[in-house]
């Protein structure tokens, strides 16, 4: 069996529990429910501003019409107050979180245990624990990339923790926490490929990206002569490369690095060509929940090298993304 064949077999084995459907993780008081359908529509400096209604629940999110790339990652100041959204979650007795279950290192089902694991999953559990206590019940709703915003708008989920980039277009539709990770779009391709970066070496190549992703947005702005193939999940792109149906992938470098860890025949090409700050996404009306999540993120960052953020980084990401000294510094709009 060739090295590529072994990689494909291993990847399919890892995905087998995903195809099996519903799973329950009793030890972690977490429930995994099936993915949503596809019929719905589709770190910078800490800036001080005069607080306004920091502890209130009135919507004071900055107008998305005033959003710029420089201010996109700004969010509301932290608060531990229980507003309407937090009270609603407590009344339900569970936090429903939109996640991925097939992105290695970030949100994936361990084929040996059936547990959801990864950097995003650890953060989701920390948010649930802060709101609901040490025995918090978390319901993980698996959703494809292009269903993250509809799931929040329909309140199918309370929050989305799924490597979701904060940008002005998305802030027209949903609210975001401060950034909890900083990535960038990059190209992934076979090591022997003639593709060298996000440039004209993509001309005539079949380039795969996830529908509704910032990779799709980047390719819509500049294809470099590539033929674009969209799929529901970024992991589908890796499988397309392995099956010879795609020549390269455009995705966040954090996700691409995880895919390269799954298949040693592919590698990152060139350098990141965008800024991709990841945030926890919420319904735009849930301003009190935004503040509460930002309070959790403040706690998650605190502690220097022994902070929960750094421990999660060392566990899940350092092997593939070495050299990161800490989380992005939060920016606030109020």
Q: Per-residue pLDDT averaged across 205-209, rounded? A: 96
Residue 102 binned pLDDT confidence (cut-offs 50, 70, 90): confident
Assess whether 288 and 260 both reside in one domain.
no
User: For the whole model, what pTM was predicted?
Assistant: 0.80
Please check whether residue 326 lies inside any domain of the structure. no
Please check whether residue 51 lies inside any domain of the structure. no
Between residues 211 and 36, the one the model is more confident about: 211
Taking only the tens place, the pLDDT of each residue in 127-148 is 999 999 999 999 999 999 889 9
Taking only the tens place, the pLDDT of each residue in 171-180 is 999 999 999 9
Assess whether 76 and 179 both reside in one domain.
yes
CA 170, CA 174: separation in Å to the nearest integer? 6
Residue 43 binned pLDDT confidence (cut-offs 50, 70, 90): very low
Q: Distances in Å between the alpha carbon of 194 and those of 97, 125, 227? A: 40, 42, 16
Assess whether 161 and 215 both reside in one domain.
no
Lowest mean pLDDT among 19-28, 34-43, 88-97, 156-165: 19-28
Assess whether 231 and 166 both reside in one domain.
no
Quote the domain boundaries for residue 224: 185-269
Please check whether residue 203 lies inside any domain of the structure. yes
Taking only the tens place, the pLDDT of each residue in 261-307 is 989 999 999 999 999 999 999 999 999 999 999 999 999 999 999 99
What is residue 69's predicted lDDT score, i.e. its pLDDT?
Answer: 86
How is 44-106 classified by DSSP, letter by letter? ---------STTS-S--PPPGGG--TTTTT-BPPP-----HHHHHHHHHTSEEEEE-SEETTT
Q: CA 133, 160, 105, 37 torsion: positive or negative?
A: positive
Q: Per-residue pLDDT averaged across 251-265, rounded? A: 92
160 neighbors 273 (Cβ within 8 angstroms): no
Assess whether 309 and 167 both reside in one domain.
yes
Assess whether 163 and 106 both reside in one domain.
yes
CATH code: domain of residue 176: 3.40.190.10
Q: Per-residue pLDDT averaged across 45-62, rounded? A: 39
Assess whether 176 and 151 both reside in one domain.
yes
Structure tokens given for 115: 């547990």
Beta strands at 95-99 and 159-160: parallel, antiparallel or unpaired: parallel
Domains of the chain: total: 2
Percent with pLDDT over 90 in the chain? 74
Assess whether 148 and 296 both reside in one domain.
yes
Max distance between CA atoms of the chain, in angstroms, equals: 64
Q: Distances in Å between the alpha carbon of 10 and those of 100, 144, 153, 242, 289? A: 19, 22, 36, 12, 39
Assess whether 151 and 284 both reside in one domain.
yes
Residue 9 binned pLDDT confidence (cut-offs 50, 70, 90): very low
What is residue 106's predicted lDDT score, i.e. its pLDDT?
Answer: 96
What is residue 311's predicted lDDT score, i.e. its pLDDT?
Answer: 98
Please check whether residue 293 lies inside any domain of the structure. yes
């Amino acid at each position: 069996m060739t090295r590529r064949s072994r990689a494909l077999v291993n990847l399919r084995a890892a995905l087998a529990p995903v195809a099996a459907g519903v799973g329950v993780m009793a030890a972690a008081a977490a429930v995994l429910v099936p993915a949503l359908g596809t019929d719905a529509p589709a770190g910078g400096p800490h800036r001080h501003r005069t607080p306004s209604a920091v502890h209130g629940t009135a919507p004071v999110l900055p107008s998305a019409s005033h959003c710029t790339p420089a201010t996109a990652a700004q969010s509301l100041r932290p608060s531990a107050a229980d507003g309407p959204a937090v009270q609603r979650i407590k009344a339900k007795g569970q936090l429903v979180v939109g996640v991925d279950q097939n992105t290695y290192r970030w949100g994936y089902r361990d084929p040996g245990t059936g547990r959801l694991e990864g950097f995003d999953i650890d953060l989701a559990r920390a948010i649930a624990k802060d709101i609901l206590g040490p025995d918090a019940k978390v319901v993980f709703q698996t959703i494809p990339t292009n269903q993250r915003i509809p799931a929040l708008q329909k309140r199918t989920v309370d929050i989305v923790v799924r490597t979701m980039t904060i940008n002005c277009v998305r802030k027209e539709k949903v609210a975001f926490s401060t950034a909890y990770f900083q990535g960038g779009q990059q190209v992934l391709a076979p090591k022997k490929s003639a593709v060298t970066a996000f440039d004209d070496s993509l001309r005539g190549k079949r380039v795969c990206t996830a529908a509704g992703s910032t990779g799709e947005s980047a390719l819509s702005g500049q294809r470099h002569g590539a033929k674009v193939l969209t799929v529901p999940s970024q992991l589908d792109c890796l499988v397309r490369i392995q099956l010879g149906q795609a020549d390269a992938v455009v995705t966040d470098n954090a996700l691409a690095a995880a895919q390269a860890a799954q298949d040693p025949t592919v590698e990152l090409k060139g350098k990141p060509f965008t800024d991709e700050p990841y945030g926890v996404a919420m319904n735009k009306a849930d301003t009190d929940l935004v503040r509460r999540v930002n309070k959790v993120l403040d706690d998650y960052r605190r502690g220097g090298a022994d902070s929960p953020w750094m421990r999660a980084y060392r566990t899940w990401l350092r092997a593939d993304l070495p050299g990161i000294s800490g989380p992005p510094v939060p920016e606030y709009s109020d």
